[in-house]
Structure 1
Amino acid sequence: MPPRVLILGIGNLLWADEGFGVRVAQALQRDYVFPENVTVMDGGTQGLALIPYVQESDVLIIADAVDFGLAPASLVEARDEDVPAYLHSGKTSLHQVSFQEVLALCKLMGQGPERLHLVGVQPVDMEDYGGSLTPPVKAQLEPAIARILAVCAELGLAGWRRPKGNCTADALDMTQYERQRPSAEEACRIGDARFLPGDPR
């Protein structure tokens, strides 16, 4: 019986490169078709709510922005026991703390993936609220997708390109998201000025 594969993009679109994993998942959903036992999911920042989906998988492939301590926009892969270690040592946001818990709880309950695979990028900027991916990180989308497709092919579950013109744009589409972003003058990108250090005026 073929393994059940979950390709999970995690992250937050609202904080620039933090949205990398979600953008990878969206691109895979938009551009590729997979066998029925492969699921591509935008996991966002759902954390513990992802437990049932992770439990049902035999192979879990995670796409995320992770601080590997490498050069900005570096693309890194980790497998099996190295994946939780990377997520633990390279926390960039709260969703990674909760996703470590997801993996730990699934292991404790004896239900979950037998194989783990992480495709991660070293973020450049995660403090630009409302910003899209920085250009160097955006350039790693296709390489990350290629690595995920290669893992699926190794499992005998290759994806193939979806015919163009079959998907409709939505508000979360990256091009649409970037086009509709207000200017820095219209919307503060770093926080409420009343709570920032410096001259209170």
Structure 2
Amino acid sequence: MTEKQEITILGLGNILMKDDGFGVHFLRWFEERWALPDSVRNVEGGVMAYALLEPVCSCRHLIVVDVLKVADEPGSVYRFTLAEIEPKLPPPTSAHEVQFLDVLCKAELLGEAPEVVFLCIVPADFREMDLELSPLMREKFPLMEKLLIDELQRHSVAPVKIHA
């Protein structure tokens, strides 16, 4: 077994479906503003399903940035552990649809599951095909940035600002 990456930041979502791609859009924005040590890896996970098994299994701590499709005010932001988020997620709609929790379950079965924290936002519009986020989601980038930096600092990682 190779040495595990200490922390992986995983941006999830479908960038073709407006706000559903928040995690990927946010991660790209964050990478332009902050330098991170080699112990931290950024991964644009999109909707890659089981292709995410390698980055998930190869780290000790996983920080997932994604949308949370619940009946709440669009733009509401949450921090969850895996145990806290599981009851809030919808059931799978088909046996062929792989959800991210399926990837985490597979990692656990392999004995390679990392500690996981979810930083989530309630999307404003995720049903319309559009490559751009809604203005409300872009306005929430600084709040999500603060949550992510706080999470990194919990692991003694101090990002270095490279761009305002």
Is the shorter-chain TM-score for this pair beyond 0.5, marking a shared fold? yes
1:98 aligns to what? 99
Count of residues in Structure 1 that have an aligned counterpart in Structure 2? 158
CA contact (8 A) 2:5 2:58 kept: no
Kindly state the Cα deviation for residue 97 of structure 1 after the two structures are TM-superposed: 4.2
1:144 aligns to what? 144
2:128 aligns to what? 128
Distance verdict in 2 for CA 1:162–1:90, change over 3 Å? farther
Relative contact order higher in (CA < 8 Å, ≥ 6 apart): 2
Kindly state the Cα deviation for residue 157 of structure 1 after the two structures are TM-superposed: 0.8
CA contact (8 A) 2:67 2:123 kept: yes
- After TM superposition, the runs of 4+ consecutive aligned structure 1 residues lying more than 3 A away are 83-86
Distance verdict in 2 for CA 1:90–1:145, change over 3 Å? farther
Distance verdict in 2 for CA 1:66–1:72, change over 3 Å? same
SS of residue in 2 equivalent to 1:89: coil
Alignment of 1:102-113 (within 5 A): 102-113=103-114
Kindly state the Cα deviation for residue 68 of structure 1 after the two structures are TM-superposed: 2.8
Alignment of 1:47-58 (within 5 A): 47-58=49-60
Residues 1:39 and 2:37 aligned together: no
Q: Which amino acid aligns with 2:120?
A: G
CA contact (8 A) 2:119 2:148 kept: yes
Alignment of 1:1-201 (within 5 A): 4-86=6-88, 88-89=89-90, 97-113=98-114, 115-163=115-163
SS of residue in 1 equivalent to 2:59: coil
CA contact (8 A) 1:30 1:162 kept: yes
* Distance in structure 1 (CA, Å) of the matches to 2:73 and 2:91: 14
Runs (5+) with no aligned partner, structure 2: none
Output the TM-score relative to the length of structure 1: 0.72
Runs (5+) with no aligned partner, structure 1: 165-201
Q: Percent identity?
A: 22
Kindly state the Cα deviation for residue 132 of structure 1 after the two structures are TM-superposed: 1.4
Distance verdict in 2 for CA 1:3–1:17, change over 3 Å? same
CA contact (8 A) 2:26 2:141 kept: yes
Output the TM-score relative to the length of structure 2: 0.87
* Distance in structure 1 (CA, Å) of the matches to 2:131 and 2:5: 37
Kindly state the Cα deviation for residue 163 of structure 1 after the two structures are TM-superposed: 4.8
Bigger radius of gyration, 1 or 2? 1
CA contact (8 A) 1:68 1:90 kept: no
* Distance in structure 2 (CA, Å) of the matches to 1:163 and 1:109: 40
